[in-house]
Structure 1
């Protein structure tokens, strides 16, 4: 599956830099890279290590504004044109206000533009006029509930949900399990399905799942990549089966 892009400034030799602030346990840098054209370089930085399971308390600790500001400042010398906070749970755990506060923290630390994964999701849903959604997550029940509350706060209706109850090593979940998770979340009333967690592999299966289920299937890394590319001025020309990128053209 190939994503095609046009990049502003035909013939330019310089790179377009995007900064990615990630949780300490992010293992899927490569997945975010796969949505990037050659002219874009991703610059990753991480928050400090936490020795605890992936639960509500841990996700709230990921929101330490001092650490996030420090992570942004660590990349400012190379002047990324946009920043992403690549963590779904860390940006929805405290509601829309929490996501906005994270973005404002990044801007105050020197980011020219900034977006969190959860804000990127809302922007994607706005673009696609999606009001009724199903969610598929690897999370514990409590975390999945907070995602549903975040979406409800934004004015969406969550019509179905499925979860794996995992609180560790999410990056080891195979595509076969994620496919079944998405199928379990699907509902006739859902306009789209959102697959949460930037540490869950999704790139290879999104197009096939959209074709199978007949509706958009969005993922955390997909919306993060898309929103940061939009903020950086890189225009997606579409990808077969990936309706978010196709509609962003």
Structure 2
């Protein structure tokens, strides 16, 4: 049995995780522990507050008891708004606290894009323009080429959680560009797992969504290859354990630890 854990702020689209667990191999368990989300607004101060050490530490003890072999901070804005270095420092603190490899959804997007071999991406963000721009800047700091960013201007997580397939199609249509090799759809408050095949067929290219990416990142850290075509191109092929990933800071990270 492979057990991986997720620190998830509030209660929005956490039901994506049991859906993914059903679609993955029967010996994979996805454990979600909620962190406090007193303000679901998509403002920089509110999003950064979600990722403070105190908030993240509050969910660690439960994940330790669950036997999680890796942990992912399943929040985009509460990670990328700390910047490239800050996001890595954040998950290293989680790894030390829980005693297993740790990462975040934002960092997982970078690993997922590299796994697909994509050179250029488009970003379809629910966020206001200033927050979406910072996500794109986070990606560019890793050397990724972001060819377009569309911001839908959603006010907060509760609003995003109510979106269905039609709204998602409108969002990805507004963001997509012919030169983009893949489309990235951040925001763990969005329900996307049930819609991945339709979105990829609609665009004719890989679509990476936040909760899907979080699951893949947790399994990557646990050295657990997984295959589930209904979870999109990202899960269509089994993969070998990861090699260290080099970052612009001169540090490399393998399995959530500096190497």
TM-score bracket, normalised by the shorter chain, equals 0.7 to 0.9
Runs of 4+ in 1 over 4 A off after TM superposition: none
8 Å contact kept, 2:123–2:150: yes
Q: Secondary structure at the match of 2:4?
A: strand
Aligned residue number for residue 39 of structure 1: 27
Is the Cα contact below 8 Å between 1:179 and 1:205 reproduced in 2?
A: no
**1:131–1:95 CA distance, 2 compared to 1 (3 A):** farther
Across the aligned residues of Structure 1 and Structure 2, the Cα RMSD in angstroms comes to 1.8
Q: CA deviation at 1:56?
A: 1.0
Structure 1's 248 and 185: CA in aligned 2 closer, same or farther, altered over 3 A?
A: farther
TM-score by length of 2: 0.84
Distance in 2 (alpha carbons) for counterparts of 1:53 and 1:200: 14
1:243 and 2:228 equivalent?
no
Q: How does 1:214-229 map to 2 (within 5 A)?
A: 214-229=204-219
Alignment of 1:118-197 (within 5 A): 118-168=106-156, 169=158, 170-197=160-187
Pairwise mapping of residues 37-76 of structure 1 onto structure 2 (< 5 A)?
Answer: 37=24, 38-51=26-39, 53-76=41-64
Please list the CA deviations of residues 105-132 of structure 1 after superposition, one character each: whole Å capped at 9, or x if unmatched: 1111023111100111111111112221
Residue by residue, what CA displacement relative to the aligned partner does 1:68-127 show, whole Å, maximum 9, x if unpaired?
123112321232111111011111112211220121011110231111001111111111
What does the per-residue CA deviation read over 1:158-207, in whole Å, with 9 as the maximum and x for residues that have no partner?
A: 11122221122220122210111011111011111001101111122222
SS of aligned partner of 1:19: strand
Taking structure 1 as the reference length, what is the TM-score of the superposition? Answer: 0.87
Do the aligned residues in 2 keep the contact of 1:192 with 1:215 (CA within 8 Å)? Answer: yes
- Are 2:4 and 2:222, in contact at CA under 8 Å, matched by a contact in 1? yes
Name structure 1 gaps, 5 residues minimum. 1-14
Q: Within 1, Cα distance between the matches of 2:11 and 2:73?
A: 11
Residue 248 of structure 1 deviates from its aligned partner by: 4.1
SS of the residue 1:35 aligns to: helix
- 1: CA distance, partners of 2:106 / 2:116: 16
Q: Which runs of 5+ in 2 are unaligned?
A: 240-259
**Paired residue secondary structure (2:6):** strand
Partner-residue secondary structure (3-state), 2:134: helix
Matched position secondary structure for 1:29: coil
Alignment CA distance shift 1:90-1:209 (3 Å): same
* Cα distance, 1:117–1:51 mapped onto 2, change above 3 Å: closer
Distance in 2 (CA, whole Å) between partners of 1:138 and 1:182 is: 10
Shift of 1:240: 5.2
